[in-house]
Chains A and B, each alone.
Chain A
């Protein structure tokens, strides 16, 4: 009987002749900028009704470093180091994407071996990117052990990076025109150990731990769903778009670096919720393993860089003995080499979506204008819509599953 007397809406209140109780008192909550659960510097000013999020307002730009401006002064080969610092969880993809953009402008044809090595490195980067995203999603839902377990595999990938370029996080891998060094026997042994032994085992165990885990699944199914149409409107790309059921992948749509030679599937989700994003990334790791196996098995012989003296640094021992090599070395290092004028858009499939480089060259030695299409920057704006009506703990999970990388977001 009692609840009839409490009006539920305005018309009830009028009918019952009782006052309307305004119980919507909103609280403002600052999530971030430096909250441990946001993995990066994101500020979200949330308007809360109890524990439910009513609306959110994002502030970004905390680690903005003006890459587009800096790039206008740098020779092309020095911009690679800027791209490292965008998506630092998968920097080789950024590096290779940039090299391919410049090669497209210069009209350089890269040898098959270099393209295959690039594919191997890019897929390793994708694996390490997805490892971070999915295992951290586990941490955010309270499952720490999976993260510790698979991070050993990420460490092995970083050792392969070290073998290939000497660095681990900001790799600066490859050169315009190819790779700076060939796959060494050590690197091949390490990659083989990773993709035939340790990673499949570890990842199968990780999936066993999570995929059908009741607590985990209850926590992420139907959290932050987005439809395919809405995702396209918001410019989603990469695993987040594929989780919403749209099978768009740059590697298949516009194959670059010999991706057309490999046999692999594009995993696609249904609801675009956190669980689908998690599962798509899981499956993509298996696909990446498949690609690396094919690339290693069919690795072509031959040079690992294009014969382009004007852009590719000559071997150091030639510089000491050979006049021509010394001249080119000097010209390249001092940034004396002009690029042709032109306008290029080149896209690669980055760790979390289509990473595009829009390059306008006026024929000088530095870009006239360089714009990075950063996937995180573009889809992060859908975040307030995705966490409307959910609790804070769910909002954390959604943010984590979107895999927004602060460096890429702010560039």
Chain B
């Protein structure tokens, strides 16, 4: 079982709903959409040869310049039997940051989704308890978004031109 076989199988099953296949550092990565993400996760989990039975990680990313797909949700799955990892991405528009919850597939997605909500404001529909997890409850912004730039207090004197940029 290699990345090629997995990719072919997914393309046969999901057609153009799974696209942008690539292999950065040997890790099969592809993109899908929010309508198909849960069925895709379930399919990969139940698949009799692939057996992607372990949700390693779920996190978000903010790409403000990516028009119409500003937010990403990134799933890392691991097939413990075959020792293969894959990465699945779903991109969402900033005007409609809704994605179905993966807690129905793995209970462990619960806190990971809460964390992504807490930091990026990604709304996981039908999540059992979508509230902030690490930040205080009455915080009114989502701190890991790129519009909240970290101040670099020590480098005010630094003029880009002097450093060739």
Contacts and interface: CB of A to CB of B under 8 A. Distances in A.
B110 interface: yes
Contact of B112 (A61, A69, A104, A378): A378
A342 interface: yes
A104 B163 CA distance: 28
Nearest to B24: A343
Interface in A383-411: 410-411
Contact of A342 (B25, B56, B107, B150): B25
Nearest to A385: B107
Contact of B54 (A72, A235, A410): A235
Nearest to A59: B133
Nearest to B59: A371
Interface stretch (A12-20, A39-47, A353-361): A353-361
Contacts of B115: 377
Contacts of B119: 68
Interface in A327-348: 336, 342-345, 347
Contacts of A246: 80
Interface in A213-268: 232-235, 246, 248, 253-254
B57 A356 contact: yes
B42 to A, nearest CB: 13
Report which residue of A73, A378, A380 has the largest number of chain B beta carbons within 10 angstroms of its beta carbon: A378
B30 to A, nearest CB: 12
Nearest to B150: A73
B143 interface: yes
A90 to B, nearest CB: 20
Interface string A49-80: 00000000000110010101110110000000
B74 A358 contact: yes
A60 B80 CA distance: 29
Interface string B82-118: 0101010000000000000000001110111001000
Nearest to B116: A371
A253 B83 contact: yes
Contact of A360 (B25, B53, B61, B80): B61
A310 interface: no
Interface string A130-146: 00000000000000000
Nearest to A254: B83
B161 interface: no
A104 B135 contact: no
B75 to A, nearest CB: 11
Contact of B143 (A66, A345, A354, A382): A66
A183 B85 CA distance: 35
A410 B135 CA distance: 10
In this complex, the interface size class of chain B, counting residues with CB under 8 Å from chain A, is: 35 or more
Secondary structure class of chain A's binding surface, majority of residues: mixed
B57 A373 contact: yes
A211 interface: no
B130 to A, nearest CB: 14
Contacts of B56: 235, 347, 354, 356, 373
B24 A69 contact: no
Contacts of A28: none
Contacts, number: 84
A104 B25 contact: yes
A168 interface: no
Contacts of B132: 61
A369 interface: yes
A91 B80 CA distance: 26
Interface in B106-151: 106-108, 110-112, 115, 119, 132-136, 143-144, 148, 150
Contacts of A61: 132-136
A64 B135 contact: yes
B135 A72 contact: no
A358 B54 contact: no
B74 A70 contact: no
Given A69-B150, A232-B80, A235-B108, A410 B134 contact: yes
Given A246-B80, A356-B76, A377-B111, 17 more contacts: A61-B134, A66-B143, A73-B152, A233-B106, A233-B107, A234-B108, A235-B55, A253-B80, A253-B83, A342-B24, A354-B56, A358-B76, A373-B57, A378-B108, A378-B111, A381-B111, A411-B134
23 contacts: A60-B134, A64-B134, A64-B135, A66-B143, A68-B119, A69-B143, A69-B148, A69-B150, A232-B54, A233-B107, A235-B56, A235-B106, A246-B80, A336-B163, A342-B24, A343-B87, A344-B24, A344-B25, A345-B85, A369-B61, A371-B57, A373-B57, A381-B107
Sort A-B residue pairs by CB-CB distance and give the 10 closest, nearest first. Answer: A235-B108, A61-B134, A73-B150, A64-B134, A371-B59, A373-B57, A381-B111, A343-B24, A234-B108, A369-B61
Interface of A: 60-61, 64, 66, 68-70, 72-73, 104, 232-235, 246, 248, 253-254, 336, 342-345, 347, 354, 356, 358, 360, 369, 371, 373, 377-382, 410-411
